Each structure stands twice: as C-alpha cells, then as structure tokens.
Homo-oligomer: A and B are copies of this chain.
Amino acid sequence: MTIDPKNFRDLDPGERVLMGPGPSNVSPRVLSALGAPCIGHLDPYFLSIMDETQALLRALFQTENQLTIPVSGTGSAGMETCFVNLVQPGDKVVIGVNGVFGTRMSDVASRLGAEVTRVEAEWGRAVDPGDIRQAALQEKPKIIALVHAETSTGVRQPIGGLRDIADECGALLLLDTVTSLGGIEVAVDKWGIDAVYSGTQKCLSCPPGLSPISLSARAMEVLKKRKTKVPNWYLDMSLVADYWGSSRKYHHTAPVNMIYALREALRLIVEEGMAARFERHLTNHQALVAGLEAMGLSMLVKPEERLPMLNAVVVPDGVDELKVRQRLLAEYGIEIGGGLGDLSGKIWRVGLMGFSCSRRNVTLFLSALERVLWA
C-alpha cells in the first residue's frame, strides 16, 4: 500500500487532432475557463453562471422549457435521467433501434421496468417513421424514443411527423441528441420534443462530463404525477429543478469548473451563430466525403441520411483497419474511431465536431489517410 510519488510523472497528454466519435478538440478559451479558480457552488457569482448557462442552453435547444440544465454526468447520464424520471414499471415504451445508442436506450428503459417495443432498422439506415407509427398505434406507449444522430453509424434520423405520431397515441417524444446538438439543428419546441439529452464532448467541444437536457412542461407534468418517487435520488429532476431554479435548494454540489467550461463553449457557439455553425459542419462534411470518394473509398450511409459530424467510411477489403487508426495516431496525432458491434472492423468513424470541424483538419486527415493507406 506504500506508493512512490516518483512513479507518477507530470501530466503531459500532448495534443491530438480529435476526429473520432468524441471527444472533439476543445478550444483554448474553453480550457482556460475550465481551469479558472473554483468557487462555492452557492456563491452569488456562480449562481449567475448557472443562470447564464441555462439561458444559453435554451437558445441552443431552441426551447422555452424551464427545466433546461446540464446534468452532472456524461451523455449516458442524460439518457438515464430522461428515462428514470418518466418511466414507471409496466409503462410501454417504443424505441427506434438502428445502432448502439438505440440499443442502450432499450437496456436503460428495461432496467426501469418498462415494456419496451423495439422498432429496428439495419445499422447504417434511419428508422422508418412508418414503422414507428405502426408500433405506436399498436402499443399506445407512454414514450416514443429515437436517436437523432446515431454515433455508432453516422445516421441522421428524420424528425418530421414524429410529433403527429406521438399525438395520435398520446405519447411523450424523447430524443437523443448527444452527437447532433451544436452541429445540426435541434429545434425542441418546433418539433414538439418532450425530453431531450445531449453530451458536452461532441459538437459543443467541451470536455466530457456534463449532459445538457431539457424537459417540456408536459414531461414535467408526468414527473409530478408519478405515484412513486423517482428510483434515483441523484437524477430526480423534481429535486434538481429546485436547485437550478430560483429557490436554489441544495441538492448535490454542481461541478463548478465543468459548468464554467460549458458556458464558455456555449458562448463560442452563440458568437459564431448557429446557422453559420451548421453551415460549417455541412461544408466540411461535403469536402471530406468528396475527398474520400476521390480516393476510391465509400460511405456506409446513403447521402440523404448522412450526419455531417459523424462520417462512417467503409474499410476497403484487405485493409487492417486497426493498424490504420494506430498509424494515424502514432504518426500524425490524429484520432479516428473504429466500428462498434456488428460494424466492428468494417467501418471507420470520422468525426467533424465543433472545434475539430475545420477545413484544415479535413485536408490534414485526407492527406494523412492517403499516405497511410497507399504510401
């Protein structure tokens, strides 16, 4: 149990070009905010930072929802939060499953006693809204849940018409926007989303550790009418809402420095302008795809279902995909991701998220990949 301090060297992570499925590169301004002096979580100055963070998150989610806050955990804690507050044992939930994160939602909801109906689609394709409607009309679920941006495949789920389907059966609409928020439009109020969560380490370009979420008035009503307490004290939004609201009732200690960083990342987004930011993601995505196709590589997802910030590239026959990733990291300091589950070994996942999404990185990556593949 004795431990020698000399075995633990000074931190020196170097610097990477983060073009995987997240985290993305973090702006120096955000790192600087992250490293600012920690103050009390009930300090008047910090309370103003909490208020501003909520206002900025509402703008980003395009919502007036009162409960719009960063949950004190990573994106998966946001998923857990949305389900644990809204599901009671025996509730029916319809979930679109076309990758790792739809699968994870099914697991999360099942553990809470939900009766889950999975509406499946091939990994690499969007879930068919017609299939969702059919399952919803048959099951009359309490919740319909979908993944807006499936990080495991690079598929963009169409949202149009989902609110009508939910209204037909009186369901809440739940959306995973971990990878989409900050890179493509997420219009919570316009789309009629009742529960939405995201993560900080993708297109917000803040380190991992917080999960922005928003719950509609309708979702808060469902939470209020629960017959049993939320079986998770830490993520009980009826308590957390009082902490983030005007009563400031102590719940847990907010992650002060991570909230500094998130606020700075959101400030950068507002300064750039959301339309300009979405355009930047789209343009760099198009340049990346053009470059990859010019090299003879092909994309897993068909053009109309592609996410700009997560590009699934088919590994050519005979290529050792892991070795390519290892060489990119070792020789160029570039991180990209491999495939998960059934797609393991079959695709690369190339992220263009937030601060990482630049013309410079697209050019560097294409050149480096070309050298690693063919040189």
Contact = CB atoms under 8 A, between A and B. Distances in A.
Interface stretch (A21-29, A128-136, A139-147, A359-367): A21-29
Contacts of A357: none
Contacts of A110: 229
30 contacts: A1-B58, A3-B55, A3-B56, A3-B270, A5-B267, A8-B56, A11-B33, A11-B263, A13-B38, A13-B39, A13-B43, A13-B49, A16-B37, A16-B40, A25-B37, A31-B257, A38-B201, A38-B207, A43-B335, A72-B73, A75-B253, A76-B234, A76-B252, A79-B234, A111-B229, A111-B232, A208-B255, A209-B209, A209-B256, A209-B257
Contacts of A62: 1
A231 interface: yes
Copies of this chain per assembly = 2
Interface in A249-303: 250-258, 260-261, 263-264, 267, 270-271
Interface in A320-364: 329, 335, 340
Interface in A27-74: 31-41, 43, 45-46, 49, 52, 55-56, 58-59, 62-64, 72-74
A104 interface: yes
A201 B253 contact: yes
Interface of A: 1-3, 5, 8, 11, 13-16, 18, 20, 22-23, 25-26, 31-41, 43, 45-46, 49, 52, 55-56, 58-59, 62-64, 72-77, 79-80, 84, 104, 107-108, 110-113, 199, 201, 207-209, 229-234, 250-258, 260-261, 263-264, 267, 270-271, 329, 335, 340
A15 B37 contact: yes
Contacts of A229: 110-111
